[in-house]
Amino acid sequence: MPAHNTEIADALDQVADLLELERANPFRVRAYRNAARAIRGLGSDVASLLLRGEDLPAIRGIGKDLAGKIKELASTEHLPLLDELRTHVPPVALELLRLPNLGPKRVKMLCDKLDIHSVEQLHRALLDSRVRELPGFSTGIEKKLLQAIEERPKGPARFKIAAVEGLVAPLLDHLRKAPGVDKVSVAGSYRRCQETVGDIDIVATAEKGPPVTRWFTRYEEVARIAAAGDTRATVVLRSGLQVDLRIVPAKSYGAALHYFTGSKAHNIAIRRMGQERGLKINEYGVFRGRRRIAGETEAEIYRAVDLPFIPPELRENRGEIEAAAADRLPKLVELADLRGDLHAHSTATDGHNSIEEMAAAASAAGLAYIAITEHSRHLAMAHGLDPARLRRQAAEIERFNGGRRDITVLRGIEVDILEDGALDLPDSALGELDLVVAAVHTRFNLSRDKQTERILRAMEHPHFTVLAHPTGRLIGEREPYDVDMPRLIEAARERGCFLELNAHPDRLDLSEVHCRMAKEAGVLLSIASDAHRTGDFAYLRFGVGQARRGWLAPQDVLNARSLRELRPLLRRTMA
């Protein structure tokens, strides 16, 4: 069976992990990591391209040998190199690498010196204080490892929203071709744009259910049929994702979509409001006694309890019902509201396309401006810019802007915030730019007070514009560093600078809770793709979903402003 892009990328990431454990050449490790990221960011499915006889798209950094391995994975879902590497390391090594403060060197030491073969064995060794006796370990690392192990999720695996999107889209296409089907919609946490998804709920309308459930269970990606009836079915896809299908008549479509979309707390609150009005609300409709009075649309459900329509992203029972009742729901930001992107990279550092190519892709995506924000010199692995290279790039951008009318490129930098709060480049270089995006890329393990003070000192810098990916998290891979976010938001308000909502689906940083806190403090957020290749501008849609969960309206978003409106705001922070 052919593999999906997410499966190919996961395998390439595993190769990189195992090579790192073997202390292979770091550039070889990085090549596999970049290839994994590139495959995840492709707009087209590699396996489908190859089946049609087309070539793998040209991707910077992927040579003939690596391209051959990608083709092999795409067509067979198998890679002999990965099998070989797995024989060189203990099976637990990959799992241990996902724990905080455990790089390849420490993982190898745990396996060799303490004979660790499972996370449970490591847990016992930590409780027995045996780990702290090894070179390079400390009581602080011991404490963090214990906490990470004890807080590991015990339930089913959750999938990042971008990975789910790639699995759901073809399944919906398949379902829409089912005999007798009219409407097909995704509900659940996916529709609410949660960062990760445990399973998928799909609502479909049809006069006869059995032909649809049979069609559904025969989908080529189904690995196991958990249940199948006349109006409902549950399957597990090859990826491990569980999908639940519910078939209802057209008159119940809105009620079912509402029932299977809202969080449990939101749905209970709406049902309670119905009961107060003598109504019964369930997945089949709204009933007064035995008479069905509504249910064909979601708007009917809300009208029945005297509320306007509540967008799916807000249905968490976090004040949206009260706001709706008081006519105070925000008009949420939409993808079309974004006028530009203030965080993107090019081939000058670790990007995969030239400034011209990135600008053309941004223009094609409907954007009027982008900021090129390369890494600074402190991030050596990304070939970060020093002042001289930064000035040369700024001159290149000026020349580019002189010949274009469809898009403007802003001169920026993603400058490292050093441990003492200083910025990685001198004022003489930063002051020549249109904006400075500052980020923490090292020393994630500082105490809460030290990490907070580090960032606060950076924000006081006269050329500080935007705090990038403010908590440093990688969903499912790296926990956010410990920082006092309310203090950072207050400092941004006082200083007049901005926070980033990094739209990369591995980050989605800020969380929706912090987005709402920033909104309430009057701090503008930049929804940024952190694009490293032309296809990455598509990540903006995930950032918009997160922003909507955080109650953000267009006026709360920095880059929902025109370039004419934006420039004075940027100049204010660069004064």
Mean pLDDT (the chain) is 90
CB 430 within 8 A of CB 463: yes
Q: Choose among 59, 32, 34: nearest CA to 46.
A: 59
Kindly report which listed range (12-16, 210-214, 354-358, 560-564) carries the lowest average pLDDT score.
12-16
- Nearest-angstrom CA–CA distance, 85 and 146: 28
pLDDT of residue 273: 95
Residue 301: pLDDT band by 50, 70, 90 thresholds?
very high
**pLDDT at site 362:** 97
How would you class 266 by CB atoms within 10 Å of its CB: exposed for 0-12, middle for 13-18, buried for 19 or more? buried
Cα separation of 498 and 519, whole Å? 11
Token digits of residue 74: 């795409």
pLDDT at 49 over 90: no
Quick one: average pLDDT of 435-452?
93
Q: Are strands 285-288 and 437-439 parallel, antiparallel or unpaired?
A: unpaired
Helix axes 104-113, 5-21, angle to 10 degrees: 60
Transcribe 219-247 into DSSP letters.
-TTEEEEEEE-SSEEEEEETTS-EEEEEE
pLDDT above 90 covers what percent of the chain? 65
Read off the pLDDT of residues 363-422 as tens digits, 9 standing for 90 and up.
Answer: 999 999 999 999 999 877 768 899 999 999 999 999 999 988 899 999 999 999 999 999
Q: Torsions phi, psi of 316, nearest 5?
A: -125, 5
Give 379's DSSP letter. Answer: -
What element of type H or E holds 346? none
In Å, how far from its chain's centre is CA 565?
28
Query: Which one, of 9, 16, 14, lies nearest residue 59 by Cα?
Result: 9
Contact 340, 562 (CB under 8 A): no
550 pLDDT band, cuts 50/70/90, is very high
How many angstroms separate the CA atoms of 12 and 32, rounded?
6
Q: Which residue has the higher pLDDT, 514 or 574?
A: 514
Query: What phi and psi, each to the nearest 5 degrees, are found at residue 276?
Result: -65, -20
pLDDT band at 59 (very low <50, low <70, confident <90, very high): low
Instruction: Tell me 430's DSSP state.
Output: H
Residue with token string 């930590």: 126
Residues 6+ apart with CB under 8 A from 440: 416, 417, 451, 454, 455, 472, 481
Residue 66: strand, helix, or coil: helix
DSSP 509: B
Question: Residue 155 above 80 pLDDT?
Answer: no
Token duo for residue 409: 């490129």
- Report the alpha-carbon distance of residue 107 to residue 218 in Å, rounded: 43
The band of 461, judged by pLDDT with boundaries at 50, 70 and 90, is very high
The strand pair at 280-282 and 369-375 is best described as unpaired
Quote helix, strand, coil % in the chain, to nearest 5: 45, 15, 35
pLDDT digits (tens, 9 = 90+) for 61-116: 677 778 788 877 777 667 888 877 877 776 678 778 878 778 777 888 888 788 78
Distances (CA, A) of 542 to 381, 510, 536, 538: 27, 12, 11, 8
Distance of CA 364 to the CA centre of its chain: 22
Q: What are phi and psi of 441, to 5 degrees?
A: -120, -5
145 CA to centre of own chain = 25
Q: What are 235's two structure tokens?
A: 């399957």
pLDDT recorded at residue 50? 66
Neighbours of 81 (CB within 10 A): 15
434: amino acid identity, one letter = D
pTM of the model: 0.79
Residues 6+ apart with CB under 8 A from 291: none
d(CA 301, CA 288): 13
Dihedral angle computed from the Cα positions of residues 4, 10, 11 and 17, in that order, rounded to the nearest 10 degrees:
170
For 215-244, write each residue's pLDDT tens digit.
999 999 999 999 999 999 999 998 899 999
Q: Which residues are CB-neighbours of 209 under 8 A, at least 6 positions away?
A: 229, 230, 231, 232, 247
C-alpha dihedral over 375, 413, 481, 506, to 10 degrees?
-70
- Max distance between CA atoms of the chain, in angstroms, equals 77
Higher pLDDT, 172 or 16: 172
Q: Alpha helices, DSSP H only, in 427-496?
A: 427-430, 448-459, 485-495
> Distance of CA 6 to CAs 11, 16, 335, Å?
9, 15, 24
Among 73, 51, 92, which Cα is nearest to 6's?
Answer: 73
User: For residues 193-208, b (16+ Cβ closer than 10 Å) or e, as one string?
Assistant: bbbbbbbbbbbbbbee
Residue 501's closest CA among 513, 510, 489, 492? Answer: 510
In terms of phi and psi (left: phi > 0; alpha: psi -120 to 50; beta: otherwise), the region of 441 is: alpha
User: Among the listed ranges 21-35, 276-290, 436-450, 513-527, which one has the minimum average pLDDT value?
Assistant: 21-35
